[in-house]
Amino acid sequence: MELTLLLNSAGAGLLCAGLFYWLIRKHPGLLLDRPNFRSAHSTPIPRFGGLIFGGLWLAFSICWIALEWYGLPILAARELSPNASTSVFFSNDHPEAVLSLWFTALVFWSLGLADDYWQLAARYRLVAQILVIGLLIGFIWPELFQKLQTRLLQQSAASPVELLPLWLIREYMSDSLVWIGAPMLLCLGLVFAVNAFNFMDGADGLAGFQAVFLLLAASIFGRQNALILLLAVLVLVFIYFNFPPARVFMGDAGSNLLGLILGCLYLEFFIQKPVVAALLPAVFIADVSVTLCRRIWRRQNFFRAHSEHAYQHLMRRIGHQKLAWVLISLDLLLLCAAWLINQMHFVAVQIGLLGIIYAALIGGALWLGAGTPRTQD
């Protein structure tokens, strides 16, 4: 089965590359991103990357889900490792939840594509995102809550730190708070993930590299899945065309889709390994959080597009290509730290290392000027 999965993913990757070559040569003016005062490029560049890899992922994944649904588990949404007990969005044990995630991804991809064409107002995008994700969380919450309870029953067989957030839920949350407050927090978390990924898609190769890193890193720590592998392959193909100097941009269609899928993946990952799941996306979380907080503190409209993220300040100093290598280096260091933390069994040490790493990244973001006007570079 794994060989069939790899061959089909490779075929999807080749088709993706062919579509990129064809559109670049035949339709270079499609979805042009014209430079403005915030732009990191000086010439118009097409932003149909998400249109291609997102559309192919949606098309292939619905076919695989249908095969699973009709009893032909060749690829489908089947987990490749024994983690189905902690999966809802990506497990063949819950086909309705997988299908609901696919429809949500389709809506977010379509919203991003509409934004690429017509530049939708930020407030309307945010309202639509909250409504759609709210429906998704409301639909899957009973099954997800059952997974939480299952993990609590496994407490004697797991290290304490893996169950720390679940223990807090059990000890300090009433049933009404769990069933009302927790889904609201999950909804806001997924909305944050989608928009954070969109905010960080402002330099050549940056968002693509981070997406592949997070997808493959989750697989290394036990979240292997056919749909995740397919998405990683398609985004890798996109990176070839997006590596500095970029020939194609991802666009909101791509960043919306990736933000949603990564948010759902790491939500489930957090149930299994909370410290590792919080550590791996630390670069993006630290930059977005510092920038957002400083802009709110300065009473700026955080809906409005800007170029004040730490990575944007650094990019203007060292360029796109060096920035990409800095991100790759940071990601590799985070992967090593995550592996080290995963080997530990002392809660205080794991939490302490996580705090030190976040403090260093937040300090770096502040030093680079995250949340300050670009004129201060």
pLDDT digits (tens, 9 = 90+) for 32-75: 888 766 666 778 889 999 999 999 999 999 988 887 776 665 44
Give the dihedral of Cα atoms 349, 355, 361, 363; nearest 10 deg: -120
Q: For residue 376, what pLDDT is reported?
A: 46
Please provide residue 79's backbone torsions phi and psi, each rounded to the nearest 5 degrees.
Answer: -70, 140
Q: For residue 138, what pLDDT is reported?
A: 83
Position 7 pLDDT exceeds 90: no
Position 314 pLDDT exceeds 90: yes
**Confidence category of residue 177, pLDDT binned at 50, 70, 90:** low
Of the ranges 221-225, 249-253, 305-309, which one carries the lowest mean pLDDT score?
Answer: 221-225
Q: For residue 93, what pLDDT is reported?
A: 67
Burial of 55 (0-12, 13-18, 19+ CB in 10 A): buried
pLDDT digits (tens, 9 = 90+) for 229-269: 999 999 999 999 999 888 999 999 999 999 999 999 998 88
**Confidence category of residue 281, pLDDT binned at 50, 70, 90:** very high
Contacts of 335 (CB under 8 A, 6+ apart): 213, 217, 220, 280
pLDDT digits (tens, 9 = 90+) for 134-160: 998 888 877 776 666 665 555 444 444
The angle at the Cα of 355, spanning 351 to 360, to the nearest 5 degrees, equals 155
Position 82 pLDDT exceeds 50: no
Q: For residue 179, what pLDDT is reported?
A: 63
Percent share of the chain, pLDDT over 90: 47
Give the mean pLDDT of the chain.
83
- DSSP element (H, E) containing 32: strand 32-33
Position 91 pLDDT exceeds 90: no
Q: For residue 80, what pLDDT is reported?
A: 42
Contacts of 169 (CB under 8 A, 6+ apart): 148, 178, 182
Give the C-alpha distances (Å, rounded to integers) separating 175 from 68, 162, 171, 208.
35, 22, 11, 40
Q: 30 or 315, which is more confident?
A: 315
Q: What is the mean pLDDT of residues 202-207?
A: 90
Q: What is the 3-state secondary structure (H, E, C) of 199-262?
A: HCCCCCCHHHHHHHHHHHHHHHCCCCEHHHHHHHHHHHHHHHHHCCCCCCCCHHHHHHHHHHHH
Report residue 76 CA to chain centroid gap: 21
Q: For residue 161, what pLDDT is reported?
A: 47
**Confidence category of residue 335, pLDDT binned at 50, 70, 90:** very high
Distance of alpha carbon 46 from alpha carbon 52, whole angstroms: 12
Q: For residue 274, what pLDDT is reported?
A: 85
Q: For residue 202, what pLDDT is reported?
A: 85
Distance of alpha carbon 38 from alpha carbon 47, whole angstroms: 16
**Confidence category of residue 167, pLDDT binned at 50, 70, 90:** low
Q: For residue 182, what pLDDT is reported?
A: 73
Q: For residue 273, what pLDDT is reported?
A: 85
- Which residue(s) pair with 45 in the sheet? 33
The angle at the Cα of 113, spanning 111 to 116, to the nearest 5 degrees, equals 110
User: Can you tell me which residue has the tokens 């996109």?
Assistant: 238
